Amino acid sequence: MAVARRDVLAGFIAVAAALPASSLSMGGASARPGREEALVHFGAQTNAWRIDPHQFSSLLDVIREMRGVGYAGFETGFANVIEHFSSPSEARRELQETGLEFFGIHIYLPSEKYDPVTRIAPASLYETVLRGGAALGAKHVIFSSIPAKRPDEIAHKAGALDSAGRSAKKLGLRVAYHNEKNDEGEKELEALMEATDPQYVSFLLDAGHAYLSGVDVPRFVGKHSARMAGIHLRDFRDGNQVPVGQGTFPLAATARALKQARWRGWVLNEEERADGTKAGLKFIRPAFEETKKAFES
């Protein structure tokens, strides 16, 4: 039986403490000789599918479906791989054999599980995810959080992200901060960009959350693309999430802004629904086609 994400998160901090300290040329294919290397690569978050964290094959099946669509890489929640942190060799081999790049592991928690001072995951958890992610071949560890508004909250969060980033760099990883929906989303993002060290902390902009928070996303990405390792794309109509390209999110303008900035990074479709719907390819395939069209036009 598949296990819902929130149902498996509560016990992971205790488990962690016990563990050891497409491209624009379709699907990430290599550029042809004499042609300029593609600027962006297409990937997806696995949370459009229902994955059983106790059955690694269910994650591998999802990644293979992504490859069939044309994606070059994937991102997944730490819940789906944590059981392999202590003995990663076989899992790493199986992930590599899918042919997709492991863009990153995402640390998302219920709000009450975040550190109340730093507002990100407790260090005991994220240090374990950093070590496990490096062992499994991930390139980034992605940090969700609870919003920070006051200057002292920003300072604590930025300091913790820098600390995590220093640990990540020693392991060959990058920390990428992921924004949540927040009425002061742009203000917080810019404050964190100012307060964190670029050599340790990048940003994975959730463009859908930013859009719902009132951010002018095309302007924002044009201004801040240098700090962005990737961008999550979501789309909405009448307050409900719909596959990318079927709502009111300014997809074409966002793609133009990133292309004009000569941005090199990952464009990741995140087709997660607030009501828990896990429709997999039903959402992901049209999202990929619309995203690819926007960046190729």
Residues 42-67 pLDDT 10s: 999 999 999 999 999 999 999 999 99
| Residue that wins the pLDDT comparison between 264 and 273 | 264
Query: Domain containing 95: what range?
Result: 5-23+38-296
Q: Is residue 73 assigned to a domain?
A: yes
Which run of H or of E encompasses 155?
helix 151-170
Number of compact structural domains in the chain: 1
CA torsion 180-184-185-190 (nearest 10°) is -140
pLDDT recorded at residue 19: 52
- What average pLDDT does the segment 124-136 reach? 98
For 37, half-sphere exposure in the C-beta direction (CA atoms, 13 angstrom radius) is 7
Q: What's the pLDDT tens digit per position in 144-160? A: 999 999 999 999 999 99
Q: Is residue 265 assigned to a domain?
A: yes
pLDDT recorded at residue 183: 73
pTM: 0.88
Q: Is residue 33 assigned to a domain?
A: no
pLDDT recorded at residue 181: 85
Q: What's the pLDDT tens digit per position in 250-268? A: 999 999 999 999 999 999 9
Q: Is residue 29 assigned to a domain?
A: no
Residue 97 has pLDDT above 90, yes or no: yes
pLDDT recorded at residue 17: 47
Q: What's the pLDDT tens digit per position in 61-82? A: 999 999 999 999 999 999 999 9
Q: Is residue 30 assigned to a domain?
A: no
Residue 75: beta bridge partners? 45, 104
Structure tokens at 266: 């990952």
- Please, which pLDDT band fits residue 9 given cuts at 50, 70 and 90? low
Residue 142: beta bridge partners? 106, 176
pLDDT recorded at residue 26: 33
- Please, which pLDDT band fits residue 34 given cuts at 50, 70 and 90? very low
Coil/strand/helix, residue 284:
helix
Distance of CA 66 to the CA centre of its chain: 15
Q: What is the DSSP string of 234-278?
A: -EEETTEEE-TTSSSS-HHHHHHHHHHTT--EEEEE----TT---
Q: Is residue 236 assigned to a domain?
A: yes
Cβ pair 243, 278 in contact under 8 A: no
| Residue that wins the pLDDT comparison between 19 and 128 | 128
CATH at residue 280: 3.20.20.150
Considering the chain, what is the average pLDDT of its residues? 89
- What average pLDDT does the segment 223-251 reach? 95
Residue 10 has pLDDT above 80, yes or no: no
Residue of 22, 75, 52, 44 whose CA lies nearest to 280: 44
Structure tokens at 33: 């000789």
| Residue that wins the pLDDT comparison between 97 and 10 | 97
